[in-house]
């Protein structure tokens, strides 16, 4: 698995209709591939990102978050997140970046504790929010992935998740941004095969 390198410049449309340049012309882009809209693990992870978004922005990083869900599903579950959210129900970018699906998303024991914690958080704090979908767009077996992209399109770092909760933490992201190096330096890529 490997991302395109350099990443071709393009403009995506956010859930709010805003044009989102990828890569961002002046900031590092953290391109996150999440699972489906309403995924409790994704929601828990993105709440940690939102909590620290000022630190992330101060490090010169723009967050761009993709879901393999239709826009209406994404609005239903995630419209309150103050992030650039992108719907990719046809998984075009998932394929381009080599982001996969697999039973290990849910079957890998390393993710079970977080899955239980995320489901518990959803159940206890849902209020009037809808329950996670019984049949999510694109299925339940999507795997997460993270890419840190320089404004010139160079992929500075990549991570392909081995299970549903295998993604960079905010601390991981900030460390990578600090040590990002120059475009053209080796790309640290981690994948389930590592």
pLDDT digits (tens, 9 = 90+) for 122-168: 655 555 666 665 666 666 577 899 999 999 999 999 999 988 888 99
- Looking at residue 8, the DSSP 8-state letter turns out to be P
Cis peptide before 103 (omega within 30 of 0): no
Per-residue pLDDT averaged across 59-88, rounded?
93
Q: Determine the Cα–Cα distance for residues 87 and 16; give it in Å rounded to an integer.
A: 11
3-state secondary structure of 68: coil
Which pTM value belongs to this model? Answer: 0.81
Residue-wise pLDDT tens digits, 31-55:
999 988 888 888 888 989 999 999 9
Structure tokens at 49: 């990102």
Residue-wise pLDDT tens digits, 93-132:
999 999 986 655 555 555 546 555 555 556 555 556 666 6
Q: Are 1 and 98 in contact (CB under 8 A)?
A: yes
- pLDDT for position 184: 45
Domains and CATH numbers, the chain: 12-190 (3.40.30.10)
- Looking at residue 22, the DSSP 8-state letter turns out to be E
- pLDDT for position 75: 92
């Amino acid at each position: 698995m490997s991302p395109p390198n350099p990443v071709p410049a393009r403009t995506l449309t956010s859930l709010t209709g805003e044009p989102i340049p990828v890569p961002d012309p002046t900031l590092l882009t953290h391109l996150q591939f999440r699972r489906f809209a309403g995924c409790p693990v994704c929601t828990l992870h993105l709440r940690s990102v939102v909590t620290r978004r000022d630190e992330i922005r101060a490090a010169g990083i723009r967050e761009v978050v993709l879901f393999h869900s239709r826009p209406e599903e994404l609005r239903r579950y995630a419209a309150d997140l103050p992030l650039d959210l992108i719907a990719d129900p046809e998984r075009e970018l998932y394929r381009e970046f080599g982001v996969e699906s697999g039973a290990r998303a849910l079957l890998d024991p390393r993710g079970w504790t977080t899955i239980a914690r995320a489901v518990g958080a959803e159940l206890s704090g849902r209020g009037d929010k809808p329950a996670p979908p019984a049949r999510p767009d694109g299925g339940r077996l999507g795997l997460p992935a993270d890419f840190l992209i320089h404004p010139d399109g160079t992929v500075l770092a990549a991570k392909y998740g081995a299970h549903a909760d295998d993604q960079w933490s905010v601390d991981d992201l900030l460390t990578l941004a600090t040590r990002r190096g120059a475009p053209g330096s080796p790309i640290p890529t981690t994948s389930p095969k590592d």
